[in-house]
Chains A and B, each alone.
Chain A
Amino acid sequence: MSTLRLVNLQKRYENGFEAVPGLDLEIHDGEFLVLVGPSGCGKSTVLRMVAGLEDITGGDLLIDDVVVNGMGPQQRDIAMVFQSYALYPNMTVADNIAFAMKLRKTDKEEIKAKVAEVAELLELTAVLDRKPGQLSGGQRQRVAMGRAIVRNPKLFLMDEPLSNLDAKLRVQTRGEISKLQRRLGVTTMYVTHDQIEAMTMGDRVAVLRRGVLMQCASPAELYQSPQNLFVGQFIGSPSMNVVRGSVGNGDGDDLTVSIGSQLITLTGEAAHRLEGLRDYIGRDIAIGIRSEALGDDGTASINVEVDLVEMLGSELLVHCTIDAPAVRAIDSGVEISDQPESSIVASLDPRNPVKVGDRLQLTVDTLRMHAFDLESGDAIGRS
């Protein structure tokens, strides 16, 4: 039972590269926090600093309110699952699992019982005498998990533990890890670049970009109210459609947003939700609409031409062209495409008889529209 706190944690490499400029994050007792971001965003560096494998340049790292900056990984009482599993190739599965306990001079009988218990839990009993080289990918992954859970550490750290599994096994193991973590109640920090893993597993998800925390919230909140364009586009599949639009005044309290040659009117609650847009009247902004907010119900509509239809079974993804440039969050900020047209994706009912080349009128659920500042990428919401 423990907590982890990162206070202005910094990492600068000797060549001057600033991997993490200063990160504040708190993980509550028993919480499953997922650190997610594109490759090179510093998430693994953060995890390795927590593990003690990487020196901390500045700031504090607290486990159970004790500063552990100077402690080596041995002294922090943490367990880590590596991307490559990092099993000890010269030891049997049983020895792999027992290694940490043997080092702590745990009683032999106790080790035996613990290993048996963990093996039972992870269905490894039959392979306890084998070497890692003789195991399948899934089994290796479970041995790595077993090695971590066997000694009740204060913290679990997991560095993309699923990325070496095939797609089907990954989904299955994802669920198993979640269940296991809930059952054991050990505070966990999990690093992944896969936003689906992040959304499905995390109690909370922290999105990182270039070492900077963009947002840390529950998966639902992250999805429904992204605080900036980066989070909006990073979370969700298919990715959020974002195009340039401009804000105008409508009748009464209404607001209008024009996207290319088309006009969307925000009324009532929709206008209230995006109240902050009133400061942007006459200016350009980025409009974000998720694919499922385009479709059959809503108060506004846009006309598009269908380029591509993808049938996924449960939904129909329709790629259409719209006459407004795309906006994209990039590493250094926001980029507006120089193409005057862009492609947006709508997720429709699969029974829809849409064909390539059709002109389509898509309704827009204005209550689920997002607006972002074109300069900073920050979300514009209630002011």
Chain B
Amino acid sequence: MTATIVPPPQQDLTPLPTKVARKLGSPVGRAIVWFLAAAWTVPTMGLFISSFRPEEDIKTTGWWTWIKEPTNVTFENYTNVLQDKVRGLPFSDFFWNTVRIAIPSAVIPIVIAAFAAYAFSWMKFKGRDLLFVLVVGLMVVPLQMCLIPLLQFFGGDYFPDLLEGTTTVWIAHAIFGMPLAIFLLKNFIGSLPSEVIEAARVDGASHLTIFTKLVLPLSVPALASLGIFQFLWVWNDLLVAKVFGGSAENQPMTYALVDMVGNKGNEWQLLTAGAFVTMVVPLIVFLSLQRFFVRGLLAGSVKG
């Protein structure tokens, strides 16, 4: 009864249930969607426009006045904010800190989760299902609850050298991201056709070969979407970095922004530009990869 295998799985985009599609297509539905989209976009637009207005304009009139007279545009805010010192460090340093934190913090948990998801799907061992339930159950544990135990763990005698620095932040992010990553990847990897895996075993492939040669290439959509997901989440994080990152030279942009709000709370031109600098990477990532984003998550959870 098994259907012919026609992956790559990324080709079957699960259509929306027709009922939902029909409701969204009605005039009322459309109006609601438009309203929601506007409500979400307007503040960002205000921020965006403000970041390009000269200081005196921002302080005297609202950003919407610019729409009527779109003449006064300046890039000074951006050059100023990137050179601005926060705790003695230029803002641009914090940008690179965020990059330094976000990329490994997105890659590490997903690589580990991919291995785990393979094991949970295709390797037989005692207590496999129980272990999986336990791992997935960890999703309900709030991040905040783990901060103190984790700090004690890192601060104890085990990793004295690791406490200060981005490595700790990587590990913390990896730990917090893993349950969801394992859950989603296991759904995806577990739904790969079993006969393909079996064929590889009969052909003489070890688990590692099957994982690297077959499962990883076939899981690219799921891995990509999860990667984006985790990257965005880490990029916007403040709490984990502040708790585990230590001193200012290891802190991300969010830290610098908060600091600016505290020290230069009335310098709107700097804050808006700074906020936009933090947003620009997630925006690019999301807009360029959004097809992956939606499709991969759907493929993992809806299929099978």
Show the binding face of A for B, using Cβ within 8 Å. Answer: 51-53, 72-74, 78-80, 82-90, 99-100, 103-104, 132-133, 137, 140, 147, 157, 164
A194 to B7, CA, bound (A): 28
- B21 at the A/B interface (Cβ < 8 Å)? no
Give the residue name and chain of the A residue nearest to B214 (CB).
Answer: A88
Interface window among B69-77, B203-211, B242-250: B203-211
Contact assessment for B199 and A86 in the assembled complex, using a CB-CB cutoff below 8 Å: yes
Q: Shortest 5 CB-CB distances between A and B: which pairs? A: A86-B195, A86-B199, A100-B203, A89-B7, A90-B217
Cβ–Cβ < 8 Å partners of A79 in chain B: 202-203
Q: A84-B2, A133-B7 are in contact. Are A78 and B202 (CB under 8 A)?
A: yes
Nearest CB to that of A80 among chain B residues? B202
Q: Determine the residue in chain A with the shortest Cβ distance to B216.
A: A90
A83 nearest in chain B by CB position: B2
A164-B3 Cα distance, complex, nearest whole Å: 8
Residue B196 lies at the interface, judged by CB distance under 8 Å to chain A: yes
Choose among A89, A133, A157 the residue with the greatest number of B CB atoms under 10 Å from its CB.
A89
For A133, the closest partner residue in chain B by CB is: B6
Q: Among A73, A87, A133, A140, point to the contact of B8 (Cβ < 8 A).
A: A133
23 sampled A-B residue pairs with Cβ under 8 A: A73-B201, A74-B202, A80-B199, A80-B202, A82-B199, A83-B2, A84-B2, A84-B4, A84-B5, A84-B193, A84-B195, A85-B4, A86-B198, A86-B199, A87-B196, A99-B205, A100-B203, A100-B204, A103-B204, A103-B205, A103-B209, A140-B4, A147-B203
Residues of chain B lying within 8 A (CB to CB) of residue A74? 201-202, 204-206
Q: Please determine whether B198 and A53 come into contact, CB atoms closer than 8 angstroms.
A: yes
A99 to B202, CA, bound (A): 11
* Contact status B5-A87, CB under 8 Å: yes
- A52, A72, A80, A137: the one within 8 Å of B4 (CB): A137
The CA of A103 and the CA of B7, in the complex, are separated in Å by: 23
Which chain A residues lie closer than 8 Å to B107 at the CB level?
A: none
Q: How far is the CA of A78 from the CA of B203 in the complex (A)?
A: 8
- Rounded to whole angstroms, the CA-CA distance of A89 and B203 in the bound complex is 15
Point out the residues of chain B lying under 8 angstroms from A132, CB to CB.
5
Selected contact of B3 from candidates A78, A84, A89, A99, CB within 8 Å? A84
B204 neighbours in A (Cβ, 8 Å): 73-74, 100, 103-104
Given contacts A73-B204, A86-B193, 18 further A-B contacts (CB under 8 A): A72-B201, A73-B198, A74-B201, A79-B202, A80-B198, A80-B202, A82-B195, A82-B198, A84-B2, A84-B5, A86-B5, A86-B199, A87-B196, A87-B199, A89-B218, A99-B205, A103-B203, A147-B199
Which residues 79-106 of B sit at the A interface, judged by CB distance below 8 A? none
Give the chain A neighbours of B7 by CB distance below 8 A.
Answer: 89-90, 133
**A85-B5 contact, Cβ under 8 Å, with A90-B217, A103-B209:** yes
Q: Is B119 on the interface with A (CB-CB < 8 A)? A: no
Q: Which residues of A contact B209 (CB under 8 A)?
A: 103
B8 near A90 (CB under 8 angstroms)?
yes
Q: Is B275 an interface residue (CB 8 A)?
A: no
Q: Tell me the smallest distance from the CB of B17 to a CB of chain A, in Å.
A: 27
A116 and B68 alpha carbons, distance in the complex (Å): 71
